[in-house]
Amino acid sequence: MAADSSVTAGISVALSTPAPPKGRLLFDACPLCSSRDFSVLRTGDCSHHPLYWPVIEPMMTWVQCAGCGHVFTDGYFTPDAAAAIFSATHGYQQPGTEFETNRAVSARIVERIARYVTDGTWLDVGFGNGSLLFTAEEWGFEARGIDLRRSSVEGLQRLGFEADCTDITNLDEPGRFAVISMADVLEHMPFPRNGLAAAHRLLQSDGMLFLSMPNYNCATWRMLDAADANPYWGELEHFHNFSRRRLYALLAEHGFEPVHYSISERYRVCMEVIARRLDT
């Protein structure tokens, strides 16, 4: 705890305020329901993460909201910390990496989404190695990517794809997209509501949203916790752990109807959800 002092009627008064962890700005309310009633759940060590920089506090504190049950970190990156983290990326997330192996996994995702929408522009948010966009193009979609890592954007552009280094909330192209994919992205956003609101605005009527992320409330997660082997408590770039139920409620709040649930092949303990945009 940090102490600030003020003077009232000549008397020095110590005002106790929480000190933000190094490299983070504290949430003052639950980022999903705005409740201010949340408590510490546990901590996790992110110092062994391959993208860790010492500008970030090595111990992450996870809290749980008493209002909606959501689990999130106590804070999110400062602009300087975010710039440091986004200055590097995992080798396996470079555009074009292991493109043939990734093509088969991405094809199964595209096949499921193509049952609901067959053409139009596909926006991949946080496209990583680009595999989902490469494969969507094979199905006849026009491929577009955005990412916060400039090196990734430049790599995708060199491969001939439209790509921008920006956040989805900055896009001003309402109704352009038939599909928006946020594969292992929503848990990286300090304020997921803003991301979903932007997706709804950018999708065409009856457009489809694809999401994947770890499933906080499943047997596999609980068994990893019991074995003290759950990697997500120390996942440097994650700010949220979603349960399926909490995610579905959030989607409904933002005008989406889940139409398909599956288990992810991409990362451990992850779920995949396809949701249809509803007119509101």
Query: How many structural domains compose the chain?
Result: 2
Q: Is residue 52 part of a domain?
A: yes
Q: Is residue 259 part of a domain?
A: yes
Give every CB contact of residue 87 below 8 A, 6+ residues apart in sequence: none
User: Same structural domain for residues 9 and 99?
Assistant: no
Between CA 228 and CA 29 the distance in angstroms is 29
pLDDT at 7 over 60: no
User: Same structural domain for residues 210 and 140?
Assistant: yes
User: Same structural domain for residues 97 and 78?
Assistant: no
User: pLDDT tens-digit profile of 220-268?
Assistant: 999 999 999 999 999 999 999 999 999 999 999 999 999 999 999 999 9
Of 19, 53, 85, the residue that ends a domain is 85
User: pLDDT tens-digit profile of 201-219?
Assistant: 999 999 999 999 999 999 9
Q: Is residue 228 part of a domain?
A: no
pLDDT at 166 over 60: yes
Binning pLDDT at 50, 70 and 90, where does residue 63 land? very high
Q: Is residue 127 part of a domain?
A: yes
User: Same structural domain for residues 97 and 163?
Assistant: yes
Instruction: Looking at the chain, list the stretches that DSSP marks H as alpha helix, in order from N- to C-terminal side.
Output: 79-85, 99-113, 131-138, 150-158, 192-202, 219-226, 244-253
Residues in the chain: 280
User: Same structural domain for residues 119 and 153?
Assistant: yes
pTM of the entire predicted model: 0.91
Q: What is the mean pLDDT of residues 111-127?
A: 97
User: Same structural domain for residues 247 and 127?
Assistant: yes
> At 133, which CATH number?
3.40.50.150
Between CA 132 and CA 155 the distance in angstroms is 15
Which residue segment(s) compose the domain that 260 sits in?
91-217+237-277
User: Same structural domain for residues 55 and 141?
Assistant: no
